[in-house]
Chains A and B, each alone.
Chain A
Amino acid sequence: MSAELETVFDLTLTVNGVAHHESVEARRHLADFLREDLGLTGTHIGCEHGVCGACTVLMDGEIVRACLTLAVQCEGRHIETIEGLSDSGRIAGLQEAFRTRNALQCGYCTPGMLIAASALMDIEPAPDRAEIREHISGNYCRCTGYHAIVDAVEAALAARTEGAR
């Protein structure tokens, strides 16, 4: 650990499979880094204190709050955002279910909801409604469209099970 007090750092990390080298201030959180420095504005910012879930991204495959993670702490990490997940087609089934079930109104919470829901689908083969609700309890929808969102996740799970047959 150097004795000097440094406030700006060279950062190397992978975002959606692309390596990036950027200079960041230590105080920059990951959500601002993605939005302001990389122009990836699909990661939303609601509360900036961990409550709303709008900033949810994947870090080394696990969901985290981008507003509670400093960019400098992501040295060498793999970050995936809604842009990467959309482009890869990995969450196409979930997106389709959100569309058909009207699981979005203003759309502000949607990127975080999709990422949280896809993380649940990755770890649980057949969660019930209560488990879906519990898992997305950290994602706020100010339009209060929770019922439709749970419906959509259920529909995506059902479609996946159907497809696997």
Chain B
Amino acid sequence: MKPATFAYARAQSVAEAVAALAAHGDEARLIAGGQSLVAMLNMRLSAPRLLIDINAISGLSEIAVEGDGLRIGALVRYTQALRAPLVARHAPLLTRAIPHIAHAAIRNRGTLGGSVAFADPAAEMPACILALGADIAISGPDGARVVAADDFFLGLYETALGPADMLTGLNLPLHGPDRRVGFAEFARRHGDYAMVGLAATATARGAGLGDVRLAYFSMGPCAVRARGAEQALEAGDLDAAVAALEADLDPTGDIHASRDTKMHLAGVLLRRVAGQLSEQPQ
């Protein structure tokens, strides 16, 4: 299908994009990589009157270490992040997760900012951001603010972003020598959205693990932490962690997998990822 008619404007700055959103309200949409939005326009699942293209805004495509964080601009593309030595070194969780996202042609255009802002329940990046405990930089009509990942994902396609807010970047804690990361997902075919997925981080404490963060995706309306399982893993009890998922997660079945299948797979993934967390040499 073809999109309905819309107007189009290129924003040259974050301030311009935010002002345009504020002026046009619900009738306007930002476009970044377009890899979710243009598909929705083509199918007429979305029919904004105005598209505000943010691709020409300078300064949003950078990856840099700033203080004790890795700053990733909203317009950084998946492929760019995957090839970036700074990401491999300071955010290896992303380097592991990105190859699971869609296909090469889509990864060449899709942006990390767009994925986090869109907050698809089955998307990899929101879960990684949650597992990392990253901060999300936002600009809105009242200025700039920072929201922690734990407070960002609120529900189905619902985030802390207000109608005239733009996500400008992500700030990830730097990967330290004792940090561990884990990632696994089940998808029917390579590049499909996951039926169940898990992104995790922890700190090695002797033979055990501390600061465990388990972020599941495709297991609810948005990326969600399994807090009971986190505590059980910190106590060194993997079986108890798997059992705790019953209370931590409440997925609804869909055409790809029933609720029971999803819960079973969540346990399988937890065992795999727990293995990754305790085995990493460095």
Contacts and interface: CB of A to CB of B under 8 A. Distances in A.
B114 to A, nearest CB: 12
Interface string B70-114: 000000000100000000000000000001001111101100000
Interface string A106-144: 000000000010011000000000000111011100000
B278 interface: no
Contacts of A25: 5
A63 B108 contact: yes
Contacts of A7: 5-8
B105 A116 contact: yes
A69 interface: yes
Given A1-B20, A73-B34, A138-B103, A68 B109 contact: yes
Interface string A56-78: 10010011110111101100000
A27 B3 CA distance: 6
A26 B6 contact: yes
B104 A26 contact: no
A138 B104 contact: yes
Nearest to B9: A1
Interface stretch (A46-54, A84-92, A151-159): A46-54
A49 B34 contact: no
Interface residues of A, number: 36
B205 interface: no
A29 B50 CA distance: 16
Contact of B1 (A2, A9, A48): A48
B4 A138 contact: no
Given A5-B7, A50-B35, A72-B8, A26 B51 contact: yes
Contacts, number: 108
Contacts of B252: none
A6 interface: yes
A32 B103 CA distance: 22
A129 to B, nearest CB: 13
A73 B53 contact: yes
B42 A29 contact: yes
A61 to B, nearest CB: 10
Contacts of A137: 103, 189-191
Contacts of A5: 7, 9, 49-50
B237 interface: no
A142 to B, nearest CB: 15
Interface string B235-259: 0000000000000000000000000
Contacts of A32: 2
Contacts of A2: 9
B12 A64 contact: no
B14 to A, nearest CB: 12
Contact of A27 (B9, B41, B52, B191): B41
A65 B109 contact: yes
A79 B196 CA distance: 37
Give the one of B38, B43, B49 with max A CB within 10 A. B38
B8 A26 contact: yes
Nearest to A55: B105
Given A7-B8, A68-B34, A68-B109, A53 B2 contact: no
Contacts of B2: 27, 32, 48
Given A49-B42, A73-B53, A64 B105 contact: yes
The 6 closest A-B CB pairs, nearest first, are A138-B103, A26-B8, A5-B7, A49-B39, A63-B105, A68-B38
Interface of B: 1-12, 16, 20, 31, 34-35, 38-39, 41-43, 49-53, 55, 79, 99, 102-106, 108-109, 189-191
12 contacts: A7-B7, A27-B3, A27-B4, A32-B2, A49-B42, A68-B35, A70-B8, A70-B38, A73-B34, A73-B53, A73-B55, A137-B103
Interface of A: 1-2, 5-7, 9, 25-27, 29, 32, 48-50, 53, 56, 59, 62-65, 67-70, 72-73, 116, 119-120, 133-135, 137-139
Given A50-B102, A116-B104, 12 more contacts: A2-B9, A5-B7, A6-B8, A9-B8, A27-B6, A48-B2, A64-B105, A68-B38, A68-B106, A72-B8, A72-B53, A138-B103
